[in-house]
Chains A and B, each alone.
Chain A
């Protein structure tokens, strides 16, 4: 139960579609703060995650709420755009009021061995973020080996990432246990060497409470309890929240309720 509530509080409620509308973002922002009002004292999610063009809408809705606004940037999801555009993309999102930036790395450059380029790019975006925290999406589904995942994690961490994140959610496979474990080990290694914490965000494919709890156990075993807050660990997910709500209510009442009793926003 404690674990389930923690999961809720770690979710980045996400909508990243070409067909997103201001209306949909508004609804999601409301849901983010009122997960299931018929059950009192539930935590809110950690953040909402939207495209840069929707940051303004979300800011207006969330005002001074504790729920943060994360915006994807740098030509999400492909990252296939010139540097100037990526920087502008990032500055725009921050200017609109984003608290967090989820950037994608240039996988093509990484795979062709231009690791310096990837490093410099992340460092430049980090600078453009200003006060906003930077999550670096490795898109592990395109990196093909765990060795690459580890290398990309190390590059992102050294270039100044506040969080490393598995996937855009647009490519399969996304946040598998193996990939998340590899990235957690990179974070652990960095912490052991420098004493600096880096956050972790598995995204894509974690849609059930059970899988989310598996992830929390992994974080606890690899990194320790200090990572078990939404400051250092997030789930990028669109449908996880309702499954967790369903499990919480089941634990409370002893009965599973129909999915129709949980709002889809």
Chain B
């Protein structure tokens, strides 16, 4: 009786070309291989556009252009002038926020609610934030001499395509570097729209170059001798590969890799609020979040209550068309990723964990996965150890503070953690003892350009965002 009528965001206003070339030296150039690949909408498996597959030669062109732009224009320009360009990019992005949000949703499968309210505004804010720093760097590094690094190669993931491009490009430009960026092969479109915006902004040619492609394109960037710094966000496996590739060179590296972050609920926490936080922690962006709160630790006295409320809340989540404004959980980014998630769900069942999925319908076409919860899980379960990168939550209970600290830290990852309690002293105790780059107190997945983000252990090194984020893009003397 009471299904909501669909409330679809219109796609009539977007401007998508049939095919996209590489953006190198301020021009759109054809890939030297002549090869193009298709990018699809994971919600209906339809092709959105063809995108150039850049190879080693193209990367070389891009790096040379970036080097030339660095030497002749960008490093000579007054910092206040650099700031103006970055501000201009931010404003142009804001003007096209709706188009960017819709394209992001089409290409990545994420719900329009998230791309419209989170991804795009945050991406704009990163440009605004770092534009402000560009001519104030001496206050960022007081009493130190500093200079830009030069040409930075940046490789970004498919979970927050535009936002990650902003996280990478904005601080690099503010600190005076030039950029060669490769978006992920499943989600190149918003980075290409950003290239159009950059072109429109009049940014000098070669300062930002966008080279689309696959792993080989990324490898060419990492291995190029004239790239002075590599910034990578993605899987820990690829991160390790990059580490090996740059060994013996003087390339600087920052890596933002995987995670298996813990979300810890104490009995004195505001339970209803905590339940919302857990839901947001794991189901935000279909769980395709490196800092997703995928390991839930609940104090045993409230475990039953929390699990009951979680299930109830999961029942009211809407899984479906990402363009529908009612949708909470959109499409899984790719067929490959859906297979990975399903593999882990199968492992979880085989390991004897108790699975719960709401009784909701999912579209027959496209890649979708129901929100999933596993209780009765042990630290030694595979599903509690490995990053699933999907809407799958594992629940464990604990009795004492020491126990939960030990369990939370017992992971090769250390990206983020959440703590829910009414006691301030307990929050401070845990934030100092949890080995995680970000610890949220009574909230989760809260992002702000002024706040640094990054990992411990195999979750990577280097910080992005805030003052700390600038540090990765300068040489201090």
Contacts and interface: CB of A to CB of B under 8 A. Distances in A.
A225 B1 contact: yes
B2 A192 contact: no
A225 B316 contact: no
A41 interface: no
A130 to B, nearest CB: 34
A48 interface: no
Contact of A220 (B2, B308, B312): B2
Contacts of B402: none
Contacts of B268: none
Contacts of A185: 272
Interface in A2-28: none
Interface in A152-201: 185, 188, 192
Contacts of A192: 308, 312
Interface in B4-41: 4
A104 interface: no
B126 to A, nearest CB: 30
A260 interface: no
A228 B2 contact: yes
Contacts of B272: 185
DSSP majority for the B interface? loop
Contacts of A64: none
A221 interface: yes
B320 to A, nearest CB: 16
Interface in B276-327: 308, 312, 316
A5 to B, nearest CB: 13
Which range contains the number of A residues in contact with the other chain?
Answer: under 10
Nearest to B317: A221
Given A185-B272, A192-B308, A221 B316 contact: yes
A217 B2 CA distance: 10
A225 B1 CA distance: 9
Contacts of B308: 192
B455 to A, nearest CB: 35
A222 to B, nearest CB: 8
Contacts of A225: 1-2
A220 B326 CA distance: 14
A220 B308 CA distance: 18
A228 B308 CA distance: 23
A222 B272 CA distance: 11
A85 B437 CA distance: 62
A222 B275 CA distance: 13
A179 B81 CA distance: 49
B113 to A, nearest CB: 14
B283 to A, nearest CB: 15
B310 to A, nearest CB: 13
Contacts of A220: 2
A180 B181 CA distance: 48
B302 to A, nearest CB: 13
A150 to B, nearest CB: 9
Contacts of B312: 188, 192
Contacts of A188: 312
A188 B271 CA distance: 13
A70 B441 CA distance: 45
Nearest to A147: B270
A185 B308 CA distance: 14
B153 to A, nearest CB: 46
Contacts of B316: 221-222
A56 B192 CA distance: 72
A188 B272 CA distance: 11
B267 to A, nearest CB: 16
Nearest to A216: B2
Nearest to A188: B312
B277 to A, nearest CB: 15
Nearest to A228: B2
A188 B275 CA distance: 14
A258 to B, nearest CB: 28
A225 B272 CA distance: 20
A136 B183 CA distance: 58
A188 B316 CA distance: 14
A221 B308 CA distance: 15
Interface string A193-232: 0000000000000000000000001001110010010000
Interface string A52-66: 000000000000000
Interface in A112-146: none
A9 to B, nearest CB: 14
11 contacts: A185-B272, A188-B312, A192-B308, A192-B312, A217-B4, A220-B2, A221-B316, A222-B316, A225-B1, A225-B2, A228-B2
Given A221-B316, A225-B2, 9 more contacts: A185-B272, A188-B312, A192-B308, A192-B312, A217-B4, A220-B2, A222-B316, A225-B1, A228-B2
Give the 8 A-B residue pairs with the shortest CB-CB distance, closest first.
Answer: A221-B316, A225-B2, A185-B272, A220-B2, A225-B1, A228-B2, A192-B308, A217-B4
